Amino acid sequence: MTRLVLAGIDGSPQSEAAALWAAAEARRRGSALRLLHAWPWLDAGDGDASWPGDPRPRALDALRGIADRIRRDRPGLPVETAVIADDPVDGLVAAVKGQDLLLVLGSRGLGGFAGLLVGSVGLAVTARAPVPTVLVRFGQAPGERPATAAGDREVLVGLDAGEPDDTVLEFAAAEAELRGCRLRAVHGGSLPPARALAGPVPPRTDRIAQESTGAAPISRSLTELRAKHPGVDIVEDVRPGGGAQALLEASVRADLVVVGRRERRHLAGPRLGPVTHAVLHHCAAPVAVVPHP
């Protein structure tokens, strides 16, 4: 289990939601929490003398304010604050390299102060970070989403039917185990071409049976995962349509949605795949992106 949870803070409501989510996760894991603010030409002493409209004092005040709130609400949780004088993307990526931690960021509208983290920062960091990264929207902090009955709570993991990755599955199973809830392995399926052209679409139960025939690698991986995590209820869920659609449909009541990110280099630099990108933009639950080979 990771020894530290790190949340990127910029003073926006989204980053505050991320910090509160990170605090709950740190408590759940028995980890310390670090709140980090990154901005060029910034150090802990900045903010005493500034030019009109300088966003730095407010950002630092927000950092201290959310730290004080978490310490007050969660006594005994170790909470650290830090500032680094660097570009937000480069600074956050550098801060997690070689670390055993979970990174948590606000997922949308990271622009609480002019010139600070903008909407693309969360996506850019997630595409480059070598550690699991959770993106949390405003309204997704603990207590802000509709309550779900204990027996209905789930962690979802989205999988590639042809190449399910053990790193992603292990992360998702560990999260479900921590929460004491079900793990649902979701992947999209499609009808074989000949069947798709043969006439009326069969009932959903028949389609799922047909689609499952192409998901043998996932079934094998889940069998191995059940042996490693016998206390976790692990179910396979094959849904018609693409992977993003399947995950979004299943995510309404999820505690967390887990997707993978291949670490292969692209000519244009690190990037998120289309499924991960769509899920990050539209998912109803916090999303964990797990890098894997």
pLDDT recorded at residue 110: 36
Give the pLDDT score at 93: 93
- To the nearest 10 degrees (0 to 180), the angle between helices 13-29 and 166-179 is 80
The mean pLDDT of 62-76, rounded to a whole number, is 94
pTM, two decimals, is: 0.82
- pLDDT at position 165 is 86
- Look at 14-28, 44-58, 113-127, 198-212 and tell me which has the smallest mean pLDDT: 198-212
The closest alpha carbon to 58, from 127, 116, 144, 8, belongs to 116
- DSSP, res 69: H
Q: Kindly tell me if the per-residue pLDDT of 205 is higher than 60.
A: no
Q: What is the pLDDT of residue 195?
A: 39
Q: What share of the chain is helix, strand, coil (3-state, %, to 5)?
A: 40, 20, 40
Residue 234 has pLDDT above 90, yes or no: yes
Pairing of strands 287-292, 133-136: antiparallel
The share of the chain scoring above pLDDT 70, in percent, equals 73
pLDDT for the residue 163: 73
| Residue 65 clears pLDDT 90, i.e. is over it | yes
Residues 6+ apart with CB under 8 A from 75: none
List, by residue range, all CATH 3.40.50.620 domains of the chain: 4-136
Question: Can you give the pLDDT at residue 115?
Answer: 33
Predicted local confidence at residue 133, as pLDDT: 95
Lookup result for tokens 């047909």: 210
Q: Check residue 128 and give its pLDDT.
A: 92
Q: Model confidence over 110-167: pLDDT tens digits?
A: 334 333 333 578 888 999 999 999 999 877 777 666 666 656 789 999 987 767 789 9
| Mean pLDDT for the stretch of residues 84-93 | 88
Query: What's the one-letter identity of residue 89?
Result: V
- Name the CATH topology of 150-292: Rossmann fold (3.40.50)
Residue 247 tokens read as 């995950």
The 10s digit of each residue's pLDDT in 160-201 is: 776 778 999 999 999 999 999 999 999 876 544 443 344 444
pLDDT of residue 160: 78
Residue 77, pLDDT > 50, answer yes
- Give span(s): CATH 3.40.50.12370, the chain: 150-292
Q: What does CATH list as the number for 4-136?
A: 3.40.50.620
Helix (H) or strand (E) holding 60: helix 56-73
Mean confidence (pLDDT) of the chain: 79
Q: What is the average pLDDT across 217-227?
A: 90
What is the pLDDT at residue 57?
74
